[in-house]
């Protein structure tokens, strides 16, 4: 009797599992996420881009009443005393200054604007993301001349289960998603020749080793 009960329970589990798989296979598929390319194509052309979470300091010459510090909202915009919605994400401070001058010219004669940035979060397209068997998988704010070694220091290296020499770097080049082999284990072991330059928007995928 007990054997039949166990067999019945196993059968119910198999049926339920099959039902779950069937329901999953018939569920609508979500659209694939789009990787937005960085505007930086090489390390020498890098310019910091403003992103959500940054603090933007806007100084309008001879108009302190409309100058001030403004937080960039999650939608990439700021609100000033004269204009409610100014898109700022993805722009350099200089680009933003010129755009604000155009906006303010409706209210102020010949405005001269200077923009500085604090916080330095930057847009997602400029961040380096490390996933997989890193000690601390992170999204890292890019800094000019950052290398793979700098990234590994930031994430605390790899876990004991990582296969660093089979790691992959994903980068968008001329609109095409490319993959490059990395030798992170060799780099951590002291092979400095395995160090490479990073670019904004790079994704590092560290797989688990097969023992």
Domain count, the chain: 2
Domain boundary among 83, 118, 153: 118
Domain membership of residue 17 (yes or no) is no
Taking only the tens of pLDDT, the chain with its 211 residues reads 555 545 555 554 555 555 545 555 677 898 887 777 888 888 888 999 999 999 999 999 999 999 999 999 999 999 998 888 999 999 999 999 999 999 999 989 999 999 999 989 999 999 999 999 999 999 999 999 999 999 999 999 999 999 999 999 999 998 899 999 999 999 999 999 999 999 999 999 999 998 6
Domain boundary among 91, 118, 145: 118
CATH number at residue 86: 3.30.1950.10
Which residue range(s) make up the domain with 187?
Answer: 124-206
Rounded Cα–Cα distance for residues 175 and 171 (Å):
10
Domain membership of residue 152 (yes or no) is yes
Domain membership of residue 2 (yes or no) is no
Domain membership of residue 40 (yes or no) is no
Tell me, yes or no, whether 191 and 128 share the same domain: yes
């Amino acid at each position: 009797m007990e054997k039949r009960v166990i067999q019945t329970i196993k059968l119910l589990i198999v049926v339920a599992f099959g039902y779950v798989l069937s329901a999953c296979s018939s569920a609508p598929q979500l659209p694939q996420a789009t990787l937005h390319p960085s505007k930086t194509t090489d390390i020498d052309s890098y310019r910091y881009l403003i992103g959500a979470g940054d603090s933007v300091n806007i100084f309008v010459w001879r108009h302190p009443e409309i100058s001030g510090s403004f937080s960039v909202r999650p939608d990439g915009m700021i609100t000033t005393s004269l204009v409610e919605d100014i898109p700022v994400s993805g722009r350099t401070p200089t680009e933003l200054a010129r755009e604000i001058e155009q906006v303010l010219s409706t209210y102020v004669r010949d405005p001269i604007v200077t923009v500085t940035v604090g916080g330095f979060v930057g847009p997602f397209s400029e961040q380096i993301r490390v996933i997989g068997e890193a000690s601390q998988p992170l999204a890292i704010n890019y800094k000019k001349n950052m290398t793979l070694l700098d990234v590994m220091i930031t994430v605390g290296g790899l876990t004991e289960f990582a296969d660093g020499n089979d790691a992959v770097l994903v980068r968008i080049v001329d609109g095409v998603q490319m993959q490059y082999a990395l030798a992170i284990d060799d780099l951590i072991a002291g092979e400095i020749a395995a160090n490479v330059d990073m670019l904004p928007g790079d994704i590092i995928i560290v797989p688990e080793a097969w023992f």
